[in-house]
Structure 1
Amino acid sequence: MTFTLATWNINSIRLREGLVHRLMREEQPDILCLQECKAPVDRMPLEGFRALGYRHVIARGQKGYNGVAILSKLPLREVGAYDFASLGHARHVAGQLENGITIHNFYVPAGGDIPDREANEKFGQKLDYVAAMRDWAHAERPRKSILVGDLNIAPREDDVWSHRQLLKIVSHTPIEVEHLGQAMEAGGWVDITRKDIPQGLLYSWWSYRSPDWDRADKGRRLDHVWATADIAAAGHGSRILRAARGWEQPSDHAPVLASFDL
């Protein structure tokens, strides 16, 4: 089975329903994982997605914030929706394809603006969430699995526009990078995007605060596609659809895509 998977923090599935339709029509991924849907499941515009061929849906939602969904042309069944760090947030859902491949869709907390858990509760929640991902991977040792989503951490120096200037900025601080590395190691995860594109600056997020985002290009790679080592060699064709950041009323994230031969 060959399929293409896309992950995208849509920043409101209802507000940007039309952009989701555009991605489906123009890129036609077999599976689309969305984060920050900002709606209960019964308020997500799923009928329009089903009309475009995405008949299989697994989702968790909340009113006004969080929320994750897997929209698929391929049959899949729900196999989990974990409340990591017991935050009570809709930040994870997992589905399994008929060939046994499990897809985990994550939305890691952003962490606020101050990189100090004593001064900023949200930063502590973020670290606790990623630590819980690590502990889960240690306990379950995932196999034949793909992990995608907005992990809200840019781990490598070339995943941000300025490593030096962002060392004290939430999303690229050493403690966040360390936590994410531990979670990756615990699950034996391979960064498929960087396997395919090993060198060079690479971003999937540009702040709304920069109206001239494209020219300034002060981005970060916050959105990821990982796979367990047993299937990582099957991943290929990784790319970031940068153009989507320039669509009308865009999300501040761009879709990240990869294909798998499994």
Structure 2
Amino acid sequence: MSFTLATWNINSVRLREGLVARLMTEEAPDVLCLQECKSPVEKIPLEQFHALGYRHMVARGQKGYNGVAIFSKMAIEEVDAQDFASLGHARHIAGRLENGVTVHNFYVPAGGDKPDREINEKFGQKLDYLSEMRDYFNASKPEKAILVGDLNIAPREDDVWDHKKLLKIVSHTPVEVEALAETQAAGDWVDVTRADVPEGKLYSWWSYRAKDWDTADKGRRLDHIWATSDIASSAHSSCVIRAVRGWEQPSDHAPVFATFDL
């Protein structure tokens, strides 16, 4: 069985319902994971998505911020939803597809502006969140699983537009990169995107502050698709749909795709 999965920080599913529907129509992933939905679950617009074949959803929501949802053409049942770092935020949902694959959808805290937990509480929360993710996967030892989401860290030098300039910028600091690596190792996760696209600059986020984001191309790869090592070799056709960042009233993120043959 082959299925395609996508992850996308939508920056308000209600405001950008039309963009979600357009992606569902034009790219038609079997599973679409959204972050930063900014909506209570009961107010997520479902009618149009159902009409496009996405009749199944598991989600955690909040009014105005955070929020994660998994839309699927296949049946999916919720199996977990963690509140790492006890923030009271809707940042994680996990569902098991009818083919037995568990999908974890994460929205890791951004971490604020200063990479110093002594003066920036949000940075400390981000590091604590990652530590608890690591401990969770150390304890659970996932199998036949996929982890996706806006992890808010660009780990590799070629995941940012300028490695040296961003070393002290939140999302690319060594302490964050190390914390993400520990989380990845804990679950024996394979970075599917970079397994498929091992070399070269690759981004999934471009700041709203850049008016000509496409030409300036000062991006970062903050959005990820990982798979446990038992199924990672089945993944292929990874890509970032960069053009979506140029749609009218876009999110500042572009969706990331991968296909799995299981």
**Same fold at TM > 0.5:** yes
Q: What aligned pairs does 1:70-219 form with structure 2 within 5 A after superposition?
A: 70-219=70-219
What residue number does 1:255 align with?
255
Letter in 1 for 2:94: A
Per-residue displacement from partner, 1:126-167 (whole Å, max 9, x unpaired)? 000011110001000000000000000000000000000000
The alignment yields a C-alpha RMSD, in angstroms, of 0.5
How many residues align? The count is 262
Report which stretch shifted further, 240-249 or 38-47: 38-47
Report the Cα offset of residue 43 of structure 1: 1.0
Letter in 2 for 1:134: R
Structure 2 counterpart SS, 1:253: coil
What residue number does 1:56 align with?
56
Report the Cα offset of residue 97 of structure 1: 1.1
Per-residue displacement from partner, 1:37-92 (whole Å, max 9, x unpaired)? 00101111012111110000001000000000000001111101111111110000
- Give the TM-score of the pair, scaled to structure 1: 0.99
What residue number does 1:9 align with?
9
Structure 1 counterpart SS, 2:251: coil
Which whole-Å CA distance do the structure 1 matches of 2:139 and 2:107 have between them? 21
> Structure 2: which 5+ runs fail to align?
none
Letter in 2 for 1:39: S
Which whole-Å CA distance do the structure 2 matches of 1:195 and 1:243 have between them? 22
Letter in 2 for 1:22: R
Structure 2 counterpart SS, 1:236: strand
Letter in 1 for 2:152: N
Which whole-Å CA distance do the structure 1 matches of 2:133 and 2:195 have between them? 22
Report the Cα offset of residue 99 of structure 1: 1.9
Per-residue displacement from partner, 1:225-245 (whole Å, max 9, x unpaired)? 000000000010000000000
Identity %: 74
Per-residue displacement from partner, 1:190-212 (whole Å, max 9, x unpaired)? 00000000000000000000011
Letter in 2 for 1:86: S
What residue number does 2:42 align with?
42
Which whole-Å CA distance do the structure 1 matches of 2:124 and 2:33 have between them? 26
Which whole-Å CA distance do the structure 1 matches of 2:180 and 2:226 have between them? 12
Report which stretch shifted further, 45-54 or 147-156: 45-54
Structure 1 counterpart SS, 2:238: strand
Which whole-Å CA distance do the structure 2 matches of 1:13 and 1:100 have between them? 27
What residue number does 1:33 align with?
33
- Runs of 4+ aligned structure 1 residues displaced above 4 Å come to none
> Structure 1: which 5+ runs fail to align?
none
Letter in 1 for 2:232: A
Report the Cα offset of residue 98 of structure 1: 1.6
Which whole-Å CA distance do the structure 2 matches of 1:143 and 1:24 have between them? 28
Report the Cα offset of residue 100 of structure 1: 1.2
Structure 1 counterpart SS, 2:186: helix
Structure 2 counterpart SS, 1:93: strand
Report the Cα offset of residue 32 of structure 1: 0.2
Structure 1 counterpart SS, 2:6: strand
